[in-house]
Amino acid sequence: MEGKRWIEEAESHILHTYNRYHVVLDHGEGVYLYDTEGKQYLDFAAGIAVQALGYGDREYNDALKQQVDKLVHTSNLYYSQPVAEAAGKLCKASGLDRVFFTNSGTEAIEGALKAAKKYAYGKDGRTDHEIIAMEHSFHGRSLGALSVTGNAQYRKAFEPLPGIVRFASYNDLESVKTLVNEKTCAILLETIQGEGGVYPASQAFLTGVKSICEERGVLLILDEIQCGMGRTGQMFAWQGYGVKPDIMACAKALGCGVPVGAFLTTEKVAQASLKPGDHGTTYGGNPLVGAAVSKVLDIFETRGILAHVREVSVYLEERLSRLEKEYPFIVGRRGLGLMQGLALESFVPAAEISQKALEQGLIVITAGNNVLRFVPPLVIGKEHVDEMEEKLRRVLDTYL
């Protein structure tokens, strides 16, 4: 039992901020993970929506290996080819004009908020600008990102948090309208709320928020950290709604495993916000992650990942809806593309299902208030959906 040793070692030294599953993952291949005992797991979590290409992708791995031997880090005082290429490809894929690379999602949110504040400051010179964010949102764990995260559980112990933030109800346009005033500089939301329980924005809500932003000269910031990068069958979820943000935050699947995030802005925002000296990062967007982002975007195009997601997600939705009909304790299915959730009655705890699924060799995670979350690698096939269903049924049957 080599695995047990690593669990003990980790538990004696790593700060206890996670209750981890008692599994020591060792390697991955395709959409499967293997632990140190050699047990196989079908992965429907993708390291929390990160491993869009699954594991052991030859082309991706080779690109990273080559870059490791060339140059890993330069700092942002210099240019490098992989970063320049990654920036160009990301702007092209998003239709936004300027990018700033970060090391994580939470830093992408920090930068997005700073860009919005600087933009507003440049317009009216005020320093009391307000941000409107959403209840049940999740934007990260650093203090700025926590300030816009509408969940007491994450915030409470760390208050007061920076900035003036007002919380509206997600998918409730009236609640947004009542909060907008002359101090509002930005409205921030996830195009699909992830951690909050897999809630897609309604078309009317997103279109409505965009109209408010245009009328009031307020910036729209969309957090696409979890729902972006092809997960909905669009490169970015907002592209499916036809609602373009002024600023977008991106991370998770952006580098398919290497730590990289980004925020992007329109040229208009870029021209009137962050300037040399206003923002920076030592590692952010180094050549190694640049090579990863660049290769990921190439692979999305050459392998038709978006078309594949659109096809396989219809199948996944169908299967999940069938489960919803058959098991009385499943009270709803929500989501878009390969970002799906099954809401459960309280006597069937999602965390318990997730644990039991793991024992069956299936990785699924939870979200929000008792929701089972499905965010598999984007390269899953229908046969993997079948296998997931079969394994999940074995667990669900025990609650009947």
User: CB of residue 147 vs ligand PLP: minimum separation in angstroms?
Assistant: 13
Residue 223 engages ligand PLP in binding (rule: CB under 6 A): yes
In 3D, which of 30, 32, 34, 33 has the Cα closest to residue 57?
Answer: 30
Q: Which residue in the set 32, 100, 101, 138 belongs to the binding site for ligand PLP (CB under 6 A)?
A: 138
User: Quick one: 105 or 377, whose CB is closer to ligand PLP?
Assistant: 105
Q: Please report the beta strands in 280-395, taking only residues with DSSP state E, as ranges in sequence order.
A: 330-336, 339-344, 362-363, 365-367, 371-374
Q: Please report the beta strands in 234-329, taking only residues with DSSP state E, as ranges in sequence order.
A: 247-250, 261-265
User: CB of residue 231 vs ligand PLP: minimum separation in angstroms?
Assistant: 11
Residue 130 engages ligand PLP in binding (rule: CB under 6 A): no
Q: Which residue in the set 67, 94, 106, 354 belongs to the binding site for ligand PLP (CB under 6 A)?
A: 106
Give dist(CA 181, CA 187) in Å, integer: 12
What mask of x and - would describe binding to ligand PLP in positions 224 to 243, judged by CB under 6 A? -xx-----------------
Degrees, nearest 5: CA angle 128-134-135? 120
Give dist(CA 216, CA 295) in Å, integer: 39
In 3D, which of 101, 124, 122 has the Cα closest to residue 112?
Answer: 101
Q: Which helix (H) or strand (E) holds 67?
A: helix 58-70
User: CB of residue 356 vs ligand PLP: minimum separation in angstroms?
Assistant: 25
Residues 171-190 that bind ligand PLP (CB under 6 A): 190
Size of the site for ligand PLP (CB under 6 A): 15
What mask of x and - would describe binding to ligand PLP in positions 188 to 207, judged by CB under 6 A? --x---xx------------
Residue 140 engages ligand PLP in binding (rule: CB under 6 A): yes
Q: Which stretch binds ligand PLP (CB under 6 A): 79-87, 100-108, 326-334, 342-350?
A: 100-108
Q: Which stretch binds ligand PLP (CB under 6 A): 102-110, 152-160, 178-186, 233-241?
A: 102-110
CB 249 within 8 A of CB 109: yes
Give dist(CA 176, CA 209) in Å, integer: 8
Q: Which residue in the set 93, 131, 243, 251 belongs to the binding site for ligand PLP (CB under 6 A)?
A: 251
Place of tokens 């667990």: 395
Residue 26, classed as helix, strand or coil, is strand
- Chain residues in the site for ligand PLP (CB under 6 A): 104-106, 109, 138-140, 190, 194-195, 223, 225-226, 251-252
